[in-house]
Amino acid sequence: MIVLVLIALLSPALNAQELNCNVTVNSDKIEGSSKETFEALRQSVSEFINNNKWTNLAFTPIEKIDCNLLIIVNAVSENEFACEATIQASRPVYNTTYTTTLLNMRDKVFNFTYQAYDQLLYQQNTFQSNLTAMLAYYVYLILGIDADSYQRLGGSPYFQVCEDIVSSAQTASGLTEAEAAGWQYGRSAGGFSKSGSGRYLIANELMDEAFKPYRNYFYEYHRLCLDEMHTNVANSRARIAQGLTVLREVNKARSTNILVPMFLDAKVDELVNIFQGGTATEKTETYDLLMALDPTRSNTYETITRQP
């Protein structure tokens, strides 16, 4: 498989791991079940993400990417888990104590087969399980988004792995119907639907030439605006406002895209905080643009223009 060749190239050794991932498993919906199984799952997932070496880059402890994975267990039948997951990642802003959210998304089709104390192995040249495939997918998505925030289109090698993991999962044998559904085309608000998952769309759009303007703006937002805000707040805010028009153009070209909603899910509170201190023109134009893109958050965006 192409994906496994790429992963082999990106993962030569088990040292200097890249992620600092806090894993939580919430089993409150499952009554009368042993919590031991869910703790074993949490530990296995945490070790899989944090102890594997995913790239050939050397990360110091302070450079590790902070992220969170919350797995909410909705139902369990024998060894089949019907879950949803929330995936978050952040990075520090240069010369400040502030951290900015890079990713804040929800996968409603996070289904897998697992038996307590199963060891989650990362083995090259083999599609091990749906759980390990999903975890590897989100690891590389986080790595790619983080890289895109530091270098223009820097995440492409990792997004390519995501796309190849999707292709491999779609042709993998032995998946249950519920597991296979998560790799098919599907979209709803936030990128997910009952019949499918946004995994396909996210990987596809991130590697699509049509979305390069979005990815370029993602880089500029973080590296040229947030990281420079300590030197000139007004200038950085103006550049962020100017660049937001890219989101509008992407939305016009692909009204069903998933990347713009992903960006807003991660940045909504940050954008509000940034533009509450803006000029009257910046406030009005930003409010109008965000409302056109995301009218469901009208109450939140109204705080931009609200008088103190």
Domain residue spans of the chain: 2-207, 210-305
Question: Among 27-36, 137-146, 197-206, where is mean pLDDT lowest?
Answer: 27-36
Provide the angle, in degrees to the nearest 10, between the axes of the packed helices 156-171 and 199-206: 140
CB atoms within 10 A of CB 55: 20
Position 262 scores a pLDDT of 96
The pair of three-digit structure tokens given for residue 143, joined into one six-digit string: 């790595």
Q: What is the pLDDT, as a whole number, of residue 124?
A: 57
Reported as a single tens digit per residue, the pLDDT across 48-82 is 999 999 998 888 888 899 999 999 999 999 899 99
Query: Please, are residues 110 and 84 in contact by the beta-carbon 8 Å criterion?
Result: yes
pLDDT at site 154: 97
pLDDT class of 307 with cuts at 50, 70, 90: low
The stretch 253-269 carries a mean pLDDT of 95
Confidence of residue 155 (pLDDT cuts 50, 70, 90): very high
226 — phi, psi (to 5°)? -60, -45
pLDDT of residue 104: 97
- Scan for tokens 């993400």, then name that residue: 49
With residue 6 as reference, give the H or E element that holds it.
helix 2-10
How many CA atoms lie within 13 Å of 126's alpha carbon, on the beta-carbon side?
6
As a whole number of angstroms, the distance between CA 295 and CA 293 comes to 6
| pLDDT tens readout for residues 179-220 | 999 998 764 433 444 334 699 999 999 999 999 999 999 999
* Sign of the four-CA dihedral 276, 278, 283, 289: negative
Query: How much is the average pLDDT of 223-231?
Result: 97
Check whether 86 has a pLDDT greater than 60: yes
Burial readout 255-290 (b: 16 or more C-beta within 10 A, e: otherwise): eebbbbbbbbbbbbeebbebbeebeeebbebbbebb
Q: 307: Cβ–Cβ under 8 A, 6 or more apart, which residues?
A: none
What is the value of pTM for the model shown? 0.91
In the prediction, which pLDDT does 93 show?
97
Name, in order, each residue with C-beta under 8 angstroms of 10's C-beta and a sequence gap of 6 or more: 54, 55, 56, 157, 158, 161
Contact 43, 24 (CB under 8 A): no
Q: Please give the average per-residue pLDDT across 101-109, as a whole number.
A: 96
97 pLDDT exceeds 80?
yes
36: exposed, middle or buried (Cβ count in 10 Å: 0-12, 13-18, 19+): exposed
**pLDDT in the model for residue 103:** 98
Judge whether residue 165 has pLDDT over 50: yes
Q: What is the pLDDT of residue 60?
A: 87
Q: Read off the pLDDT of each residue in 134-159 and give the average, rounded to a whole number.
A: 97
Any bridge partners for residue 112, and if so which?
A: 81
What's the mean pLDDT in 96-114? 96
Least confident range from 157-171, 215-229, 269-283: namely 157-171
Which span out of 112-116, 117-121, 266-270 was modeled with the highest average pLDDT? 266-270
Q: How far separated are the first and last CA of the chain, in Å rounded?
A: 57
DSSP string, 15-82: SS--EEEEEEEE-TTSTT--HHHHHHHHHHHHHHHHHS--SSS---GGGSEEEEEEEEEEEEETTEEE
- Could you please report the per-residue DSSP string of 175-226? --HHHHHTTS----TTS-BTTB-THHHHHHHHT-GGGHHHHHHHHIIIIIIG
pLDDT of residue 263: 97
